[in-house]
Amino acid sequence: MSSKQNNIGIVILAAGNSSRLGRPKQLLEYKDSTLLKNTIKEISLVQNSNIIVVTGANNELIEKELLEFPKIKTTFNPDWQSGMSSSIVKGLSELLVLYSDSQSCIFAVCDQPYVTAAVFENLINEAVKTRKGIAASAYAETLGTPVLFDKKYFNALLELKGQEGAKKVINTFLNDTVAVPFEKGDIDIDTEEDYNELIS
């Protein structure tokens, strides 16, 4: 890979209040760890990446979890209740301040328990191979997170509002998007039932 491709930002969106679950899903126990730490451990294996975690609800609890990862930056989104877009904008803005030479950014969530470093590496490799500006995970007949955006889409992401998410940008530029299969990517934790299924 050329050095130009090396500067990849990875933004973990961890600001939600898990309203359907009733407790912070980021901190649910999983694999002798938590869902958030498991996601971070996998992402930390991705070479040449700079990681930022966007916190919101329960930010103090979550930031305490991250003390064991000194290289990871956190940024607090005071508008987390206004919807996913505010966390995308907050994370990307912080990335551009801290790592202004970022050539692309991957957005991830922390409630996909089956995410692995390979999922991220596949996105990066497919984006390079196909020269597409967006590489999105494909599962359950949809495109979603984790998703990689070339820097040419940063402005479109920074313009997202309210409940809009990364999917709006993907759908707008589908002709410049490569779908990258992510097995079990559709399994996420929204309810106590989801969590019980995961750990049973």
Residues 164-173: tens digit of each pLDDT? 899 999 999 9
The pTM for the full model equals 0.94
Please report the pLDDT score of residue 22 as a whole number. Answer: 81
pLDDT at residue 16 is higher than 90: no
| Cα 194 to Cα 11: distance, rounded to the nearest angstrom | 24
- Asked if 91 and 107 touch (Cβ cutoff 8 Å), the reply is yes
Predicted confidence (pLDDT) per residue in 63-112, tens digit: 988 998 988 999 999 999 998 899 999 999 999 999 999 999 999 998 99
Radius of gyration of the chain (CA): 16
Please report the pLDDT score of residue 1 as a whole number. Answer: 37
Predicted confidence (pLDDT) per residue in 45-63, tens digit: 998 899 999 999 989 989 9
Please report the pLDDT score of residue 2 as a whole number. Answer: 40
What value does the mean pLDDT take over residues 115-139? 97
Please report the pLDDT score of residue 190 as a whole number. Answer: 87
Phi-psi category of residue 45: left, alpha or beta, with phi > 0 → left and psi -120 to 50 → alpha: alpha
- Which of helix, strand or coil describes residue 60? helix
| Cα 10 to Cα 117: distance, rounded to the nearest angstrom | 12
pLDDT at residue 6 is higher than 70: no
Only one residue has tokens 């877009």, namely: 85
Q: How far apart, in Å, do the first and last CA atoms of the chain sit?
A: 41
Output the average pLDDT for the chain.
92
* Domains and their CATH numbers in the chain: 3-199 (3.90.550.10)
pLDDT at residue 10 is higher than 50: yes
- Asked if 153 and 134 touch (Cβ cutoff 8 Å), the reply is yes
Lowest-pLDDT range of 14-18, 70-74, 147-151: 14-18
Joined together, the tokens standing for residue 127 give: 């984006």
pLDDT at residue 5 is higher than 90: no
What value does the mean pLDDT take over residues 178-200? 91
- Asked if 108 and 11 touch (Cβ cutoff 8 Å), the reply is yes
| Cα 10 to Cα 106: distance, rounded to the nearest angstrom | 5
Please report the pLDDT score of residue 32 as a whole number. Answer: 87
Bridge partner list, 136: 147, 179
pLDDT at residue 129 is higher than 60: yes
Please report the pLDDT score of residue 42 as a whole number. Answer: 94
